[in-house]
Amino acid sequence: MSFADFKKQSMNSIEDLQKKLEASSNKDSFKDDRFWRPELDKASNGYAVIRFLPAPSDEELPWAKYYSHAFQGPGGWFIENSRTTLGEKDPVSEMNTLLWNSGVESDKDIARNRKRKLSYVSNILVIGDPSNPENEGKVFLYRYGKKIFEKIQEAAKPEFEDEEKINPFDFWAGADFKLKVRKVAGYINYDKSEFTSQNKLFEGDDALLEEIWNKQYSLTQFIDPSNFKSYDELKTKLHSVIGDDIRGTFTTKTPTVEDVATDESEDDTSSSSDGSEEPSGEDALSYFEKLANE
C-alpha cells in the first residue's frame, strides 16, 4: 500500500471504527453460531425435531457434561465453569457449604441461588425447525439439561419390557427426538418431549451419514482443563462479585444475553445439601455399554 492510499484510507477510519464499535456492542455479537436452540413464541412454547448424533471422531462419548455457576452480586455477574467438573475443589461450592450449614434459612436461599448448574452438550442434526427452516439439515451443538438427558437414559434403558430400546445417539438404531417446550407454573418444561420409533437416519445411506459425521464438532473442548480458571482465579473473581461478606447481595434473576455472553441451558436440576446440583441415577455410560454388548 502506498502512503497516498494509506492517507486516503485513514480519512474514513473514524467511520470504520464507529461501525466496528457498534458491531462489538451489539448484544448478539457474541452469539456462537455453532449452537442451536429452539425458538419460543410469546407464550414460551416451542417445537422442533432433532437427531442426536454419535461421538465425534476419536472421542469416546456423544456428550460433554460440565458444571457452571451463574449469579449476580454487588460487583456484577459471576459466570464461570466449576472446577467440580474436573473432580476438584471449587470456591463457590465450598462457600455454598458454609452457607447451607449455617443454620440460617436465608443463607440456604443464597446457596440455592448460587448452586452449580449441570449442562450437557451434544452434536445434533436439525430435522425440523418450523420457526427457522433454514436450520434444517444442518449440524449444530445443542446444550441441554438434566430433564432431556433423563429422557435419553429412559430411551436407552426402558422401564418396561414392551417398550422399544433405542440408542439415541446411533445413526442406525437411533430415533428422532421431538422437542416440545412449554411453560408450566412459570417454568420452562420439557416433559412432553419424546423420541419417535427407531429409524435409520437417511435410511442408512452411508455416504450421507459419513458427510454428517464429518461435520460434527469436538465435545472434549467443553471439559478441557484449559477452559477452567484456577481455584485462586475463581476465588478472586468470586470476592470481586460478592464483596467481603460471603452473603453479599444476590438476585433470583436469570442472566440473559443482555447480561452475559452465554448460551442458555435448562435450569431443571435438584439441589444437594450444600445447595449444589447433583446428577441423579447411575452413570448413563453403563447404559450404552450394555447396548453395545447386546
pLDDT in tens, 42-85: 999 999 999 999 999 999 999 999 999 999 999 999 999 999 99
Is the pTM higher than 0.85? The answer reads no
Question: What fold, for 46-293?
Answer: Replication Fork Single-Stranded DNA Binding Protein (3.90.198)
Q: Which residue has the cell 497516498?
A: 4
pLDDT digits (tens, 9 = 90+) for 224-256: 999 999 999 999 999 999 997 788 754 444 444
**Cα–Cα distance measured from residue 253 to residue 72, given in angstroms and rounded to the nearest whole number:** 8
SS3 26: coil
**Cα–Cα distance measured from residue 37 to residue 150, given in angstroms and rounded to the nearest whole number:** 19
The set of long-range contacts for 99-103, using a CB threshold of 8 Å and a minimum separation of 24, is: 99/246, 99/247, 99/275, 100/273, 100/274, 100/275, 101/274
**Cα–Cα distance measured from residue 105 to residue 110, given in angstroms and rounded to the nearest whole number:** 9
φ/ψ of 134, rounded to 5, equals: -65, -15
Of all residues in the chain, the percent with pLDDT exceeding 70 is 74
**Cα–Cα distance measured from residue 254 to residue 74, given in angstroms and rounded to the nearest whole number:** 15
By CB atoms closer than 10 A (0-12, 13-18, 19+), residue 217 is middle
- Give the model's confidence band at 175: pLDDT under 50 very low, under 70 low, under 90 confident, else very high: very high
pLDDT digits (tens, 9 = 90+) for 131-155: 999 999 999 999 999 999 999 999 9
